[in-house]
Structure formats: structure tokens, C-alpha cells
């Protein structure tokens, strides 16, 4: 059976197993959304249950097959494999950035501020005056704060809001996303302001930047692969702090309370991997940068896309026993205004963010492949399988129990070659 036939079968079987609202129905009642956890205790209890279940599972495996040098620890290794794989992998009018969605500026290494180019290069910021036929260097600064040791950090994204430059990096030494703020004068001179840290996994992609700018709002998508057997998860959940010499991990301030962490009706299997898909919005207008997060707990595989009002996160479950009768993916719609996310069950996977387009007609369009792998580092380069265009009304998004109708998928010709570049 061809990949396209499998894709059609998966859609048809999943569709038949789920009760859908009538096509074209206008919802008069309040829109259904994903359900948030009620309290921190509820999340802690979930992780404790997973820990106890893991202990019981290991004990059953030990009794069923006494360990040998070749098989000792194999069950635990298999359980940890998805998380380890994921961790090794995951505008202004004068803007010169080639943005994907109008009004949503993307991180980059060259930006324009008035009569100056701002360039991020090898951990340093440069400003160059433009005009006539000349380029005149004006100012230079380290892309990190005074007293910060840049070893173990990568600085490779930059955004400008008004006279504020935000340099985005990832610090392995300091455990997360690093945001350095600089002031740029009208004459092009640079002045360091502050550095902040967001606790996150290494989320870097070979195709996609992690940051966006909408007006004065700095937007991040940071997937956090969870250790479901840790007992108490709160030491790794999204948090925020301002950097200073001598700062400690205890100064991280949680920014995703339990009531802003959501789940779907899909049962989470900790042995297949669990991730916290986190959208963080930071206000650059305030003197002290302030951030809030909304998160959805789901499968680890992901592709994300940012429109003017929402972040879309497409997740794909790595099920070793995946069958056509079980929807293998879902797309979450996380509003940027902090309201509750919605979701839709799907089949297949986009290649990268360029597979998405939220249209002005109230529809989401997504190019999917039957064997896409998401846009974690180098994953998008290994996409395979047949193509289809998913076109679905935004009214279909609700509490995650519904699936995109079979007729929403339009099969497309399969190009020659292997992995494709998607534009």
C-alpha cells in the first residue's frame, strides 16, 4: 500500500472513530477549549503516578526476563529514548527582513534602524551608517552583558522594537534562552541595558527561528522535553529571571502556573515522550521586561508557525505501535492574548513553518507529508512520503476531541527526489 493510501486510510479510520460536529455548523455556545490543570498539586500528582508506574513496569520487566549483560537496563533506555532524541536534535515599515507573515517580524542577524544597519556577528553587535554610496562603521558591542561569560552560549537571533535591540541566544551554561537588551540611539550608538534568562531546552532548528516580534511584544516558542519520572517537575518548568553577577537558580520566577498549562483528551504516554510546548510573550515597553507563558502538554515532535494573533504548534507522537486507526498528530492553536488554546486532531506532519499559512478567510492551510519529522535540528531535512494540502476552518478548533475532516485533505503530486525545500 502506498504512503498516500496509508495517509487516506489513517484519516478515514480516525475520522470514523471520532464524533464530529456537523460540517458548517455555527457554534452559538462559547467555544470549547483545551482544559487547564486545576492546580500545581494536580500536575505533581500526575508525575508521581508516572514515577510509580515506571517502577512497576521495570519490576514486571525484570521478573519476566531476568537481566543479562546484554539486556540490563534496556527497558529504561527505551523509555528514555524519545526524550534523548529530542534533546539531541529540537515589523516596522522599513524592515528589511523577508518575513513569512505580515506584521510578524522574525529573528535575524541583520536589521535596519533608521539610517543604520545593525549586524549580529560572532557574538558581537555592529552598527553601520548607510546612505549615498558609503557604509560607515559607527558602534560595536559584545552581544552579551558585562560580566557574562559567553562560553557555552550561542547568539544568533536579533529583533528591534523602537530603540530597543533584543539579542536572542541559548546558553548551555546558564540553562536556557538568553535575552540581551541594548539601546540604540538615532546616531547608531549602542548601550547595554540588561540580560534575562528563560528556562528552556535547546530548541534550535535548522529551518526556523525561535523568536518573533509583534509590535512591542517579543514572542518565543520553546518546547521543553519533560522527564516524566522525575517525581516533582517544577524545577524544570518555564521560569524567568534577570541576570546579575552571582545570580542563582533559586532566583528563577515561574511564569507558567498550573492554570495556564493545558492538555487534550489524548492520553499521555510517558514511555513515548512528553513535552511542554510553551509560548512566552514578553513586553519590551516596560522598564523591567516582564514575561508570561502558556503551555500545552503533548507529544514531543513539533513544527511551529506564528501568525498575527496565534502560535500554531503541530505535534507528532512517536508511537512504536502506531497504527492507521490512531490519529498520530495534532495541531494546537495558542492565542497570543493569553486566552485558552484550542486543538484539532490531524494526520501527517508539516515539513517546517513554511508549510503553514493562516489566511484572511478564516482558514488554516498546511502542507503535510505522510512521513514528516518536524523541524527540530536537521529533522526537516529527512521528510518523506506523499503530500496533501490540509485546508480547515479555524472554527474547527476546539477542545482537541475533533479531527480535521477527511475532505479537508487534498492529495498533491509527489515531486521527484527525496527531502524537499519548502517555500
Greater pLDDT, 310 or 286: 310
Query: In 3D, which of 348, 354, 369 has the Cα closest to residue 412?
Result: 369
Q: What cell was used for 99?
A: 518575513
Q: What is the pLDDT of residue 418?
A: 59
Greater pLDDT, 152 or 46: 46
Give the mean pLDDT of 108-126. 93
Whether the per-residue pLDDT at 7 is higher than 70: the answer is no
Whether the per-residue pLDDT at 200 is higher than 60: the answer is yes
Whether the per-residue pLDDT at 384 is higher than 70: the answer is no
Q: What is the pLDDT of residue 95?
A: 65
Give the mean pLDDT of 406-416. 86
Whether the per-residue pLDDT at 84 is higher than 60: the answer is no
Q: What cell was used for 387?
A: 503530500
Q: Work out the pLDDT band at 126, boundaries 50, 70, 90.
A: very high
Q: What is the pLDDT of residue 82?
A: 34
CB within 8 Å of 413: residues ≥ 6 apart: 387
Whether the per-residue pLDDT at 26 is higher than 60: the answer is no
Rounded to 10 degrees, the C-alpha dihedral 150/152/158/160 comes to -50
Q: Work out the pLDDT band at 322, boundaries 50, 70, 90.
A: very low
Give the mean pLDDT of 395-418. 87
Whether the per-residue pLDDT at 230 is higher than 90: the answer is no
Give the mean pLDDT of 355-370. 90
Whether the per-residue pLDDT at 338 is higher than 70: the answer is yes
The phi and psi torsions of 367 (rounded to 5 degrees) equal -85, 120
Q: Which residues are paired to 155 by β-bridges?
A: 169
Q: What is the mean pLDDT of the chain?
A: 78
Q: Work out the pLDDT band at 83, boundaries 50, 70, 90.
A: very low
Q: Which residues are paired to 158 by β-bridges?
A: 108, 167
Least confident of 136-145, 254-263, 307-316, 377-386: 377-386
Q: What cell was used for 25?
A: 455548523
Q: How far, in Å, CA of 282 to CA of 284, rounded?
A: 6
Query: In 3D, which of 375, 39, 400 has the Cα closest to residue 209?
Result: 375
Whether the per-residue pLDDT at 361 is higher than 60: the answer is yes
β-bridge pairing 399-403 and 342-346: parallel
Amino acid at each position: 500500500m502506498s504512503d498516500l493510501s496509508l495517509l487516506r486510510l489513517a484519516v478515514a479510520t480516525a475520522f470514523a472513530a471520532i464524533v464530529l460536529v456537523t460540517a458548517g455548523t455555527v457554534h452559538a455556545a462559547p467555544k470549547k477549549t483545551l482544559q487547564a490543570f486545576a492546580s500545581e498539586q494536580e500536575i505533581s500528582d500526575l508525575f508521581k503516578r508516572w514515577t510509580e508506574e515506571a517502577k512497576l513496569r521495570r519490576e514486571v520487566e525484570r521478573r519476566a526476563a531476568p537481566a543479562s549483560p546484554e539486556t540490563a537496563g534496556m527497558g529504561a533506555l527505551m523509555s528514555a529514548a524519545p526524550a534523548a532524541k529530542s534533546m539531541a536534535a529540537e515589523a516596522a515599515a522599513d524592515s528589511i527582513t523577508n518575513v513569512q507573515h505580515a506584521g510578524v517580524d522574525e529573528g535575524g542577524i541583520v536589521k535596519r534602524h533608521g539610517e543604520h544597519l545593525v549586524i549580529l556577528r560572532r557574538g558581537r553587535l555592529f552598527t553601520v551608517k548607510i546612505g549615498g554610496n558609503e557604509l560607515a562603521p559607527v558602534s560595536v558591542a559584545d552581544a552579551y552583558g558585562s560580566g557574562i561569560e559567553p562560553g557555552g552560549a550561542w547568539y544568533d537571533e536579533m529583533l528591534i522594537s523602537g530603540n530597543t535591540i533584543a539579542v536572542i541566544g541559548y546558553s548551555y551554561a546558564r540553562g536556557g534562552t538568553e535575552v540581551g537588551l541594548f539601546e540604540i540611539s538615532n546616531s547608531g550608538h549602542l548601550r547595554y541595558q540588561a540580560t534575562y534568562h528563560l528556562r528552556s531546552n535547546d530548541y534550535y532548528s535548522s529551518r526556523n527561528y525561535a523568536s518573533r516580534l509583534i509590535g512591542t511584544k517579543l514572542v518565543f516558542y520553546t518546547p521543553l522535553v519533560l522527564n516524566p519520572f522525575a517525581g516533582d517537575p517544577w524545577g524544570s518548568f518555564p521560569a524567568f529571571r534577570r541576570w546579575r553577577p552571582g545570580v542563582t537558580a533559586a532566583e528563577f520566577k515561574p511564569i507558567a502556573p498550573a492554570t495556564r498549562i493545558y492538555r487534550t483528551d489524548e492520553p499521555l504516554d510517558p514511555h513515548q515522550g512528553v513535552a511542554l510546548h510553551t509560548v512566552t510573550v514578553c513586553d519590551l515597553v516596560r522598564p523591567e521586561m516582564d514575561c508570561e507563558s502558556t503551555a500545552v502538554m503533548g507529544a514531543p515532535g513539533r513544527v511551529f508557525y506564528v501568525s498575527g494573533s496565534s502560535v500554531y504548534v503541530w505535534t507528532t507522537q512517536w508511537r512504536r505501535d502506531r497504527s492507521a486507526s490512531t490519529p498520530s498528530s495534532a495541531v494546537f492553536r495558542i492565542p497570543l492574548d493569553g486566552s485558552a488554546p484550542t486543538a484539532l486532531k490531524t494526520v501527517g506532519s508539516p515539513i517546517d513553518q513554511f508549510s503553514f499559512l493562516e489566511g484572511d478567510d478564516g482558514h488554516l492551510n498546511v502542507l503535510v507529508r505522510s512521513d514528516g519529522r518536524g523541524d527540530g535540528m536537521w529533522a526537516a531535512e529527512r521528510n518523506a512520503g506523499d503530500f496533501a494540502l490540509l485546508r480547515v476552518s479555524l472554527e474547527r478548533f476546539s477542545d482537541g476531541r475533533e479531527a480535521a475532516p477527511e475532505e479537508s485533505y487534498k492529495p498533491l503530486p509527489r515531486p521527484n527526489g527525496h527531502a524537499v525545500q519548502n517555500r
